[in-house]
Amino acid sequence: MSDISALWNADSIAVIGASERPGALGRKPMDYLLRYGYKGRVLPVNPRSAEILGVPAYPSVKDAPGPVDLALIMVAAARVADAVDDCVAAGVPLAIIASSGFAETGEEGARLQDEIVAKARAGGLRIIGPNCIGAVGYENRVLATFSPLFGAENVPFEPGTLAFVSQSGALGFGAASLALERGLRPGWVVSTGNDADVTALEVLRELATVPEVSGLLGYLEDTPDIGTLRALAASGKPVALLKSGRTEAGGRAAASHTGALATDDRVLDAALRQLGIVRVDDIDELLDVARVFESERRPAGNRVAVVTTSGGSGILAADAIEGSGLALSPLRPESKAALGEIVPAFGAIDNPVDITATVLSDPSLFDRSLDVLIADDTVDIIVACFCVMAGPDVEKAVTSLRKAAEKGGKPILVARTGADFLAPDAPHDLRAAGLPEYPTPGRALRAAAALWEVSRPRPELPAATPGEDRTPAGTTEPELKALLAGAGIAVPRGRTATDDEDAVRAVREVGGRAVLKAVVPGLLHKTEAGGVRIGVTPETAAESFRRLSALGGGVLVEELVEEGVELIVGVHSSDLGAVLTAGLGGIFTEVLDDVSHRLLPLRPGEGAEMLAELRGAALLDGVRGRPAADKAAAADVLHRVADLVRHWAPGYSLDLNPVRVLPRGAVVLDAALTTGTEEAR
């Protein structure tokens, strides 16, 4: 048993600051452990009491009969250091510090937090918290928490298969209560507060090793550690994360709450997509995903068949599929023929399949239609939509869906648009049948998309390979272009001119029409500074050279490359590692903000995937009579850039803008590299 797993497997728990006083926080965990039938030893620690709630108390953890697997520290912040010393002396491997008054309060609290963590680590003690509400393991009835959730009457307490881990204790246990209200069954709920030592992500990684866990759900405020994210993804368990700080205001709120700094949000999105981890936007969506994670059925692909009793529901379902990563199944011709024999003439046999309200008078329509869809190998997921069906009609539909799911092994999600009072037993019956239920088609399809995201096969994300630092320093554009050319990346023909007469010769060398650029270290926006001349001929080369050299640097002469689609390609360092960015380039980069990101290194084929993700991807296919651009060459540039920078040290920023994609080939027209405080263009 690892130290962290004591949060749900502890055979003995010391409650430091235990109390009998009504309303005291130190009483709540004692109440809960005793009321819910904790299977291990409860060891209240209070030097002023010999007994608490009928349980022998001890003046210190060291005085309690050992071993102690888990300590719950519930004393004022000023007394936490002494409690940590006591745990170290007793050989406790893990402690939850519930106390507040640390990094969440400011600089002085952060200093105290750092001192306590250092003290604990030196003594071999791992810390959860501080400033957290605690942890619950349902199977062993570990309630090392003071959450008011468990003080309520009639709290469901059947062990489930879902694991909830949250930095915010109140939000985490609040989400757990909503899960219980929806009929979901968590088996593990852990809050980690300030994440001063053990992080929420570490707890999720540990829970991923528990065989009974069917799905992992997390709320994070801190920047995730990429190594732990990789390990979590590699576990094969479905994971959904709610990460706060998407906006600048949200990032400030997260920082003020736990001392956390928000990561670049789009980089995190890219990392999670690469790893097959679902990112959700709110608690509702997290719980919707949790419901589908409870199901054992996984799709073999992303093709969806929609069967509905309402044309409107079918249309909404089809709309929700658009842009979700899912696709409507085309259905086999023989399936359509079979459906044509089943569905009323005023229904629809093209996907979505509308069997109409006739199902109310002929319940067999559901059975027979589902049989056809289950047998169709172009269908990976079935979404059944029905509206305002009541009582026995819902029961019959549920029976049909259950039989179909058992027969075909394909995941079936249900969108039941109607109040619970129409069919009070339906939620229970659907859960018992392993059929995730949602009130609208849109929510059902978002859950289906999440299920596919965690189910689709993907190669393991390759790890960055450390090696000798080869980061170029102080690179001018001509030097950087030479570096790119050496890596097999096309750049315009050209060279640096030494004087105005040499500029004339250089223009002739590159074909008689050229681009002249000022090469001035620190000049980031050459066009705005008048540092670029386009369409220069031998006749205008001398004057252009004199004007550009007056800016205080050299002059680069390059061939004028024909028109094409312009992209921006760049690599920069982030808290998660080196990130490759590709998007529409040229002067529209900042305006359109149409970009795709990937953590490096790239997998084979990811360059093409990045280009396909762009909203403006159609430009590469040719529009309004323009020829199609060479997408293969553009993707090749992305992979060559990724390979070029693989041994560069963190802290650099490489910008290639624009990369002009031609009908044949792709050429980097402009390049800039920043390393530390040094900039070159």
pLDDT digits (tens, 9 = 90+) for 45-55: 999 999 999 99
- Lowest-confidence pick of 80-84, 247-251, 284-288, 338-342: 247-251
Model pLDDT, residue 471: 79
Going by the DSSP 8-state scheme, the letter that residue 130 receives in this structure is S
| Ranges of H-type helices in 182-246 | 200-207, 226-234
pLDDT digits (tens, 9 = 90+) for 509-519: 999 999 999 99
- In this prediction, residue 677 has a pLDDT band, given cuts at 50, 70 and 90, of very low
Give CA–CA dist 90/270, Å, rounded. Answer: 45
**Contact yes or no for 274/210 (Cβ under 8 A):** no
**Integer CA distances (angstroms), 276 to 239, 613, 614, in order:** 8, 16, 20
Mean pLDDT of all residues in 151-180 = 93
- In this prediction, residue 361 has a pLDDT band, given cuts at 50, 70 and 90, of confident
| Ranges of H-type helices in 276-388 | 283-293, 311-321, 333-340, 364-375
Model pLDDT, residue 524: 65
Which domains, ranges and CATH numbers included, belong to the chain?
Answer: 6-222+243-261 (3.40.50.720), 295-455 (3.40.50.261), 493-559 (3.30.1490.20), 565-680 (3.30.470.20)
Give CA–CA dist 616/586, Å, rounded. Answer: 13
Query: Looking at per-residue confidence, does 225 or 137 come out higher?
Result: 137
pLDDT digits (tens, 9 = 90+) for 556-601: 999 999 889 999 999 998 888 899 999 987 656 667 778 899 999 9
- Lowest-confidence pick of 67-81, 210-224, 258-272, 636-650: 258-272
**Contact yes or no for 675/652 (Cβ under 8 A):** yes
Give CA–CA dist 345/342, Å, rounded. Answer: 9
Task: Please give the backbone phi and psi of residue 260, each rounded to the nearest 5 degrees, phi first.
Answer: -85, 150
Give CA–CA dist 245/13, Å, rounded. Answer: 35
**Contact yes or no for 48/63 (Cβ under 8 A):** no
- Lowest-confidence pick of 64-73, 353-362, 611-620, 672-681: 672-681
Task: Please give the backbone phi and psi of residue 649, each rounded to the nearest 5 degrees, phi first.
Answer: -75, 155
Model pLDDT, residue 248: 56
Model pLDDT, residue 610: 94
Task: Please give the backbone phi and psi of residue 545, each rounded to the nearest 5 degrees, phi first.
Answer: -60, -45
Exposed/middle/buried for residue 588 (C-beta within 10 Å: 0-12, 13-18, 19+): middle
Residue by residue, DSSP assigns 433-444 as TT--EESSHHHH
Going by the DSSP 8-state scheme, the letter that residue 617 receives in this structure is G
Q: Which residues of 36-48 are buried (b: 16+ CB within 10 A; e: fewer)?
A: bebebbbbbbbee
Residue 616: closest CA among 605, 625, 606, 629: 629
Going by the DSSP 8-state scheme, the letter that residue 577 receives in this structure is E
| Ranges of H-type helices in 123-159 | none
Give CA–CA dist 219/39, Å, rounded. Answer: 29
Going by the DSSP 8-state scheme, the letter that residue 150 receives in this structure is G
**Contact yes or no for 70/144 (Cβ under 8 A):** yes
In this predicted structure, the answer to whether residue 256 has a pLDDT above a threshold of 50 is no
Model pLDDT, residue 505: 96
Going by the DSSP 8-state scheme, the letter that residue 622 receives in this structure is -
Query: Looking at per-residue confidence, does 359 or 466 come out higher?
Result: 359
Query: Looking at per-residue confidence, does 252 or 371 come out higher?
Result: 371
The vertex-266 CA angle with 264 and 268, nearest 5°, equals 70
Give CA–CA dist 340/651, Å, rounded. Answer: 63
Q: What's the mean pLDDT when you consider all of the chain? A: 90
Model pLDDT, residue 263: 42
In this predicted structure, the answer to whether residue 615 has a pLDDT above a threshold of 80 is yes
Task: Please give the backbone phi and psi of residue 541, each rounded to the nearest 5 degrees, phi first.
Answer: -65, -40
- In this prediction, residue 345 has a pLDDT band, given cuts at 50, 70 and 90, of confident
